[in-house]
């Protein structure tokens, strides 16, 4: 069973389009995250949700909107895609927001904006 699954795995689209990436975890974790990994491999936190509530919202354009319908799902919607949005987006979950708390990552969604 896949612990953290995200779809689609690959996404190729034109500038200006709107796209969504879905994420689901079956680990019973309370906290979910979206990370962006660019071509230089930097892992940058974008959003964090705890029990469906937003707790971290780093400086990302408001074209990016996360949605958490329940604590097992955290989707990412991106409006008006730009070339610089091309990256691998990782969803992750963890049991605890306090000290400790292993992050379990999804396989990643590679977004290419043409």
Partner 1 sequence: GENVEQHPSTLSVQEGDSAVIKCTYSDSASNYFPWYKQELGKRPQLIIDIRSNVGEKKDQRIAVTLNKTAKHFSLHITETQPEDSAVYFCAAKGSNYQLIWGAGTKLIIKP
Site for partner 1 in 14-73 (CB under 8 A): 40-45, 56
Query: Cβ 72 to partner 1, closest distance in Å?
Result: 18
User: Two tokens at 15?
Assistant: 């500038």
3 versus 15: smaller Cβ distance to partner 1: 3
**Residue 58: phi, psi to the nearest 5?**
-70, 175
Q: Is 105 in the site for partner 1 (CB under 8 A)?
A: yes
Residue numbers at the binding site for partner 1 (CB under 8 A): 40-45, 56, 90, 97-103, 105-108
């Amino acid at each position: 069973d896949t612990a953290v699954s995200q779809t689609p795995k690959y996404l190729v689209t034109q500038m200006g389009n709107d796209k969504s990436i879905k994420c689901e975890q079956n680990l019973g974790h309370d906290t979910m995250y979206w990370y962006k990994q660019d071509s230089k491999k930097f892992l940058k936190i974008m959003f964090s949700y705890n029990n469906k509530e937003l707790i971290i919202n780093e400086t990302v354009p408001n074209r990016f909107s996360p949605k958490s319908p329940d604590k097992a799902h955290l989707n990412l919607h991106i409006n008006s895609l730009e070339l610089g949005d091309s990256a691998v987006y990782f969803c992750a979950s963890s049991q605890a927001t306090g000290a400790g708390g292993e992050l379990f990552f999804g396989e990643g969604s590679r977004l290419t904006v043409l």
